[in-house]
Amino acid sequence: MQSQSSSPAARIEKLVKTFGATRALDGIDLEIPVGHALGLLGPNGAGKTTTVRILTTLLRPDSGRAWVAGHDVLAEPDAVRRSIGLSGQYAAVDENLSGYENLYLVARFHGLSRAQASRRSRELLAGFRLEDAAERLAKTYSGGMRRRLDLAGALVARPPVVVLDEPTTGLDPRSRLETWGVIGELVADGASVLLTTQYLEEADRLANTIAVIDRGRVIARGTSDDLKARIGGERLELVVAEHHALSVARQVFAEVGSAEPKVNEQARQVSVPVDDGPKALVEAMNRLDGVRVLDVGLRRPSLDDVFLSLTGHTVEGE
C-alpha cells in the first residue's frame, strides 16, 4: 500500500476492463494531486464511467491498480469508501423526503450522532443555497436543486476525494450554471476532485488539468489551453458577400495564417489557424480593402474541434 502522507489524492495505473468483446478500459494511467481537480473528458462510451466505478469500488478491474487517499481499491475497499464522496450522473435523492431529511439520513449512515447529523445537514443546506427549501419534499425541487442536494450529500462526511460523474448532463442551462458554481466553490476550497464530463467548457471552467479519454485510452492530457493549442489555437474566420471574392480572401489568409486556409464555397467562408489573432485580423482586413465582408472574427477551438482533431469524430460520435 502507498504511504498516505506521500500519495496523491487518487492514482490509477494501467487499468484494463472488458465487457465481453468490448474493451472499456485499455491500460489507462491517471493521477490527481491533493487539492487538484482533474477533468476526465470524453464521448459516451469512452470509458469515463467505468473508470469512476473502479475508483469508487463499484467494479473490479481485470488488471491494473488504483488507490484513493493512499488506499488500494481492491485490498482496502472499505477505507476507500470512507475517503470518497460520489455524485453520479443522476441525482441520488429520495424524492419522498425533504432536503433536510435526505442529508440527515446520509449523515446518520456515516455514523454522525443525531446532533451532529442535524448540524451538518443545516450547514450544507445553507452552503448549497437550499436553506429556504429545506423542509420541502425533494420531488418538488428543480433539476438544479436536486443536483445541488446530491452534491451536498456527497460532502456530508467531508471526504478528502470527491468524484463527480457527468454532474450536469441533462440539466438546463440555468441549472448547469448553478451546479458549476457549487463545484467551483468546492474546488476553490481545496477539495481533490475527479470530474468526468462531455463538455470542454465545463472542464475548462472547473478543472486544473484535463485528460481526454477515447475508446478506453488516455489520448491527450494538459490544461484546456494546451489541448486547444494542439489544433492551432485561434482561428480567423471570414464570410464574404460575393463568391468571386473567395479566391482573394483565401490568398490573404494563406499569407497571414499559420496553416493552409479552409474554404467553404457554399457558406462563402474562409478560415485559417493563426498564431497572433489580433495582429492577423488587422493585417487581413487591411489587405482585403475593397472586398465586401459580411462577417469576420477570431474563434478559439470548440469541443467538436478538439475531439475531431484528437479522435476523428465529434463528442457525440463513437
pLDDT at position 280 is 93
pLDDT reading at 4 higher than 50: no
If you average pLDDT over every residue of the chain, what do you get?
88
Higher pLDDT pick, 274 / 101: 101
Weakest-pLDDT range from 12-26, 128-142, 169-183, 205-219: 169-183
The 10s digit of each residue's pLDDT in 176-217 is: 888 888 888 888 888 899 999 878 788 888 999 999 898 899
Residues 62-82: pLDDT tens digits?
A: 999 999 999 999 999 999 999
What is the CATH class of 10-93+141-224?
alpha beta
* Residue 170 pLDDT greater than 80, yes or no: no
Report whether 156 contacts 125 (CB < 8 A).
no
Share of the chain above pLDDT 70, in %: 93
DSSP 89-125: SS----TTSBHHHHHHHHHHHTT--HHHHHHHHHHHH
Q: State mean pLDDT over 109-114.
A: 94
Which cell is 109 given? 449512515
Model pLDDT, residue 173: 85
DSSP 318: -
Here the cell at position 28 is 489507462
Is-contact 249 288, C-beta < 8 A?
A: yes
CA 112 vs CA 98, 150, 213, 270, 294: distances in Å: 19, 18, 38, 63, 64
> CATH assignment of 233-300, given 3.10.20.10, 3.30.70.100, 3.40.50.720, 3.40.228.10?
3.30.70.100
Structure confidence at residue 175 as a pLDDT band (50, 70, 90): confident
Q: How confident is the model at residue 5 (pLDDT cuts 50, 70, 90)?
A: very low
Evaluated on CA atoms 94, 98, 103, 109, the torsion sign reads negative
* Residue-level pLDDT at 198: 79
Question: What residues contact 144, with CB distance under 8 A and at least 6 apart?
Answer: 171, 172, 174, 175, 176, 178, 179
Domain ranges across the chain: 10-93+141-224, 233-300
Q: Is the pLDDT of residue 3 over 70?
A: no
Q: What average pLDDT does the segment 218-240 reach? A: 84
pLDDT of residue 235: 87
Name the most confidently modeled range: 133-137, 273-277, 290-294.
133-137
Bridge pairing between strands 84-87 and 161-165: parallel
Decide if pLDDT at 148 tops 50.
Answer: yes
Taken in order 92, 94, 95, 101, the sign of the CA dihedral is: negative
pLDDT value of residue 72: 96
